[in-house]
Structure 1
């Protein structure tokens, strides 16, 4: 079955581009800061570069989806990830680090939309939601792997990024060998025909929800581990294993497609938003309790992957004629929210505190509950 082969190469690619190339920065930030001694506001701006790069890349991926094969776009994703990770590993100042973060961030935008096209063309309809969800759960694998390697390598963050670069190269080669070489001609025709006003009207709640959720979760991705390591009431091992907990819990998010098929899109969406927002609220208000130190990242990891899986299905259901566009729009807006959130998160953490930051992030997340599919 081709869907199984696609998951075997697609899940690792998402693990590399999202987990290793994009979200690893928040994990490695405490160690990078020991070398570069950056202010929190500078750390936040550098983090935003990854999200800005993602926005640029996902727009390019959607624009060129009718001219370039999905396989070619994914090869570009693999190359940008490999080069970006290599630059990060040798960076000696915030400027070079920001360049590496930006290039690595491009890979995330290039990697998501093409898989939606390949799945639409090569996987039977009843298996498409689940295939999309399992490939999307690669973020969890990448996050957990990042955490384990960081623990083994302790504070050797440059060597860690070199290992990430090697892994990215292997995954790039696997995708090059397995992905179909033929361009999707059906999609080519559909993209040229454009989108109706009705589709755009139906996309408004999805866009607004994605913006709020991206803004809400950016604080967790960037500063949660730094907060845990600085909090004297939290055991050191919780800070060290935080990324692993997030990643392992995120595997539950791979069930998003099956849950949507069984219970419906909106119930799945509301559950994911409540869980995601509550994870930030717990982190900001109950950090003195060790169980909360486990529960918060477990909630965040599982609900984030589940939520993004829901957004994939929601977007594709709105833009039925172009799956890559349907996936790309919510992910683009999610990343835009994360870019905005990362900048403001660093400023808020500098001026107020991490506690205020995470409580505020949870409130923004809860606001996304007002939106529903029309």
Structure 2
């Protein structure tokens, strides 16, 4: 089978995303039970440590675009891989909570640097018409990384240090591949380039509402990302390696998130958000109610994976539509808001687990998810002053990126001048 250059780059980008997001960031929750037992950590401490990679992700997201310009895409991606490999090695050798926190903090930095580097390279090697589809494939790398971490916990649940050593080795392989595949390019703005249209007060208002919803979704979802495996082991008394099936379900179901987000763009985003948030809350409640039933726990992971990836895809497209011409801002803010919500939610879950137990803590977060879903009619829908003034464009993620390359009056923008980016 022969792939086009754009598809080859998309698949390679998905592989790097799998390492930076799936292994360096989200695989941590999968190994919480053995790590907690070996290092003698309380749920409260795990909650604080679980928030650290999200904080570092936000910090890195603000500096990554400048690094991509100064260093070029190749070296920014290699820096991300180097930090990821270092963080994974530190986690694998961690003797206490402090060193463990340092490792996961470093992994969050690597995550924040990777996507801006890939976006800059995409502009140089991928046709503009393919930007949306290529970005969707690269974004799916998160689910792939989560899924491929499953064999490690199935066979190495009691050897988590060795598993993290393997993850670090994969990160080194990614660094070498980056040197050979990604060009050393950065965004260049022509001297006669027209400035992007100013952001109106209405656009800021709608972007603010989107960011609030993104924050609240991240707040609720992080209970599952960090504590779901420990819940089924501690409360359900399942063997530690059984948690691998949860992450496999999350990864497989997450691949369908791009399809659901695309359907939402064709139909009614507020209704889709409400439905996905209800599914997110259901996954938390179902896991808390049946932690000792592996079948139901795995089903809850399927529901969670589909809901989470669908919502992040929906927020990505909405951010693109709200700020046409401001390509490095519209998609970035909702993803930063999700990370901030996750960082805020992780220690709160840890405190609640200490105070009321896993079942009640997850039930409280499920109730918060239901409340947020009820508020979905406030979800922003359009980019213009009035819905009927919105120009015609192709639906779906590709349409969102194509529309992003137009100014407020619908005139085409140069993709390099506009500086498209995804965080």
Report the alpha carbon displacement of residue 363 of structure 1 after superposing the two structures with TM.
2.3
Report the alpha carbon displacement of residue 126 of structure 1 after superposing the two structures with TM.
5.2
Secondary structure, aligned partner of 2:149: helix
User: What does 1:1-374 correspond to in 2, within 5 Å?
Assistant: 1-64=4-67, 67-119=70-122, 123-124=126-127, 127-186=130-189, 196-198=199-201, 199-232=203-236, 238-256=242-260, 258-260=262-264, 262-263=266-267, 265-287=269-291, 289-369=293-373, 370=376, 371-374=378-381
> Does structure 2 conserve the Cα–Cα contact (< 8 Å) formed by 1:67 and 1:188?
no
Mean alpha-carbon deviation: is it higher for 38-47 or for 194-203?
Answer: 194-203
TM-score by length of 1: 0.90
> Does structure 2 conserve the Cα–Cα contact (< 8 Å) formed by 1:134 and 1:255?
no
Instruction: Tell me how far apart the structure 2 counterparts of residues 263 and 204 of structure 1 sit (CA, whole Å).
Output: 22
Write out per-residue CA displacement over residues 33-55 of structure 1, whole angstroms, 9 at most, x where no aligned residue.
Answer: 22210111111111111111111
Write out per-residue CA displacement over residues 75-94 of structure 1, whole angstroms, 9 at most, x where no aligned residue.
Answer: 22111111111111111111
Report the alpha carbon displacement of residue 66 of structure 1 after superposing the two structures with TM.
5.2
Higher relative contact order by CA 8 Å / sep ≥ 6: 1 or 2? Answer: 1
> Does structure 1 conserve the Cα–Cα contact (< 8 Å) formed by 2:276 and 2:310?
yes
Report the CA distance shift for 1:120/1:230 in structure 2 as closer, same or farther (over 3 A): same
**Partner residue in 1 for 2:412:** none
> Does structure 1 conserve the Cα–Cα contact (< 8 Å) formed by 2:147 and 2:252?
yes
* Corresponding pairs, count: 374
Q: Output the aligned Cα RMSD.
A: 2.7
Report the CA distance shift for 1:356/1:162 in structure 2 as closer, same or farther (over 3 A): same
Higher helix share: 1
Instruction: Tell me how far apart the structure 2 counterparts of residues 193 and 97 of structure 1 sit (CA, whole Å).
Output: 43
Secondary structure, aligned partner of 2:331: helix
Secondary structure, aligned partner of 1:21: helix
> Does structure 1 conserve the Cα–Cα contact (< 8 Å) formed by 2:25 and 2:104?
yes
Report the CA distance shift for 1:190/1:149 in structure 2 as closer, same or farther (over 3 A): farther
Write out per-residue CA displacement over residues 292-325 of structure 1, whole angstroms, 9 at most, x where no aligned residue.
Answer: 2221001111221222122221222223324333
Report the CA distance shift for 1:44/1:195 in structure 2 as closer, same or farther (over 3 A): farther
Report the alpha carbon displacement of residue 242 of structure 1 after superposing the two structures with TM.
1.6
- Structure 1: give runs of 5+ residues left out of the alignment: none
> Does structure 2 conserve the Cα–Cα contact (< 8 Å) formed by 1:36 and 1:94?
yes
Tell which structure's C-alpha radius of gyration is larger: 2
Secondary structure, aligned partner of 1:325: coil
Report the alpha carbon displacement of residue 235 of structure 1 after superposing the two structures with TM.
7.2
Report the alpha carbon displacement of residue 228 of structure 1 after superposing the two structures with TM.
0.5
Report the alpha carbon displacement of residue 341 of structure 1 after superposing the two structures with TM.
0.5
Secondary structure, aligned partner of 1:29: helix
